[in-house]
Amino acid sequence: MLASLRQLLLTLFLLCSAMTTPAEEPAAPAAVPQGQIWQVGINGVIGPATYDLLSRTLEDARDASVSLLLITMDTPGGLDKAMRGMIQDIIASPVPVATYVSPSGARAASAGTYLLYASHIAAMAPATNLGAATPVQIGMPAQPKPPSSKEQDQPPDSAGAMQKKIINDASAYIRGLANLHGRNADWAEKAVREAASLDAAKALELKVIDLIARDRDHLLQQLEGRQIKLLGEAYTLHTRGFAVQEITADWRHEFLLIITNPNVAYILMLLGVYGLLMEFYNPGVGLPGIIGGISLITALYAFQLLPVSYAGMALIILGIALMVAEALSPSFGVFGFGGVIAFIFGSVLLMDTELPSFQIALPLIAAFSVFSIAVCIFALAMALKARNSKLVSGSTMLVGQQAQALCNFGCGSDTDESGKVSLNGEIWNARSYDPVHTGDRVKVTAIKGLWLEVIRNGHDHNGDSL
C-alpha cells in the first residue's frame, strides 16, 4: 500500500511536469545516421505502457530507416490485449525486429513466448528459458486435467467450454506465428496446452529459437548476412560495424507505467470521487474539486487501458452512490452499509484478470472499506444526535421563555387583553388573560402567527395563583 502511495505522489509530480515540459519523443535524437541499430528493453510485466513504448519506437525506427530493432526481454508475461497489439506492430514493421532474452537468468514466459515467436529473429542468452504460455482468465482452472471416465459421460459446463475456446484460440494464434518464421509449431502448441517450458539450449535444439548468444556483440556477429523474411520478402541483415543506440523510456512511458498500476488507478478513482464530493459539500473551496477532477479523469483513462470488469465498476459506483445517499438523507445505516458491501464486492471484481500484477491489493481495499464504514458511522451518529438534540432555532424555541411587559396590557384600556413584551431583544405583540403591568415578568405559553400568548409568572390562565 505504501508503494502505491509513493507511485501516486510520483504520478502527481509527472502530471505537473507534463504541463510545464514540452513533449519529447521516446526514441533517439532526430539526427540518427542511416544503418544504425536501436535497442529497447522490455522488462517486467507486459501491459499498456510496454505496448505504447514499443509501438512508438517502431514508428520512429521506420521514419529513421533503422537497420535493426533489438528488443532485450525479461518478462513473466502480461496482458493479452497489449501482447497482441505489440505482435501486430512487429509483424507489420518494415524494420526487422530481433528479440533477445537476456541477460542470463532472464525468461520469456507466457506473453513473452508469443513475442519471441512473432519476431523476425528469436535469440536467447545461456541459462534463460521460455514457455508456460497457457492463457489465464477469470474462472479458468489453473491446470487442465484429463477427464475421468465418469466425467466424459457428463456434458461440459459453460466454464469448461469457455476454457477450451480460449486455449484453442491461443494455440491457433501461436502456431500461426511459428509458421510465419519457420519455427517449431508443435512445441509452441504444447507450451499453450500443457504450459511446457524450455531452456535456451533445448529451445535451439528443437528449432524454437534461431540462435544462442553470450551477449549483444556476439548476437550481432551471428546476425551479419543472415537471411530472414520481412513483410513476405527475403531480406539480408547487415549488422557489422553499426553503432547501437539504446532507447530510454521517456516521461510518457513512466507516467503510463504508474497510472496503469491497478492500485494507483484505484486510489486515483477514489481520490477523485471523494474530492468532488467534498467540493459539492463545501462549494467555492476549489482545491478539492480540481484535484478530484484531475484524479478521476486520469483514473478513467487508466481503466480504459486495463482489463476492467464493468460489473465491478458498476458495483463501486452503486456503493458510492448509496453512501452519498446515506450522508444526505440518513436511513439508520441501511444505505450506508449496503453501499459499503457493494463497494467491497466491486473492488474485488474490478480487474477482469487473474494475473497477480494486475490485481488490486486486498489491504488497500480493506483500508478504503474501513474508511467508508467510519464515514457512514459518523454520518449516522450525527443524524441521531441532531434528532435527539433540543431545538436551537425557529419560533417554537420561544415557548417557555421569559419576557418582560413593556406596558399595562390594554395600554390604558382595562378591557384590552393585548400588549407588548420584550423577548430576546425583540418587541412582540402579546395577549394575556391575566392582569399584566409594565415591568412584570411573563412566560410565553404559545405562539399564534405573530402573537405571543403569555401568563404572568405565578398565575395560570384563569388568574388563580399557582
Domain holding 98: CATH number? Answer: 3.90.226.10
Is residue 134 domain-shared with residue 227, that is, in the same domain? yes
Same structural domain, 226 and 270: no
Spell out where 19-153 has E strands: 37-43, 68-74, 97-101, 107-109, 121-124, 129-131
Same domain, 111 and 227: yes
- Quote the pLDDT of residue 3: 56
Least confident of 3-12, 224-233, 411-420, 428-437: 3-12
Shared-domain flag, residues 285 and 187: no
% of residues, the chain, pLDDT over 90: 34
77 and 130, same domain (yes or no): yes
Tell whether 126 and 221 lie within a shared domain.
Answer: yes
15 compared with 77, residue with greater pLDDT: 77
Domain boundary among 230, 249, 268: 249
Q: What is the pLDDT of residue 248?
A: 87
* Domain termination residue (choose one: 347, 365, 388): 388
Pair 30, 136 in one domain: yes
Q: Is the pLDDT of residue 404 over 60?
A: yes
Do 208 and 109 share a structural domain?
yes
The pLDDT tens digits for 234-248 are 999 999 888 899 998
All 3 cell numbers of residue 404?
Answer: 418582560
Same structural domain, 210 and 352: no
Q: Residue 37 has what pLDDT?
A: 94
Q: Are residues 218 and 265 in the same domain?
A: no
Task: Report pLDDT for 147.
Answer: 47
Residues 266 and 244 in one domain: no
Residue 152 has pLDDT above 50, yes or no: no
- pLDDT tens string 46-80: 999 999 999 999 999 999 989 999 999 999 998 89
How much is the pLDDT for 466? 44
> Domain end: 231, 249, 267, which one?
249
Range of the domain at 120: 25-249
Query: Considering the chain, what is the average pLDDT of its residues?
Result: 81
Check pLDDT > 90 for residue 333: no
Residue 411 falls inside a structural domain: yes
First and final C-alpha spacing in the chain: 71
In a domain, 461, yes or no: no
Residue 6 lies in a domain: no
Please report whether residue 18 resides in a domain: no
Same domain, 215 and 272: no
Number of domains present in the structure of the chain = 3
Q: What is the pLDDT of residue 157?
A: 52
Q: Compute the half-sphere exposure of residue 302: CA atoms within 13 Å on the CB side of its CA.
A: 28
- For the stretch 427-463, pLDDT in tens is 888 988 878 888 888 888 888 878 888 888 766 555 4
Element (H, E) at 446: strand 441-448
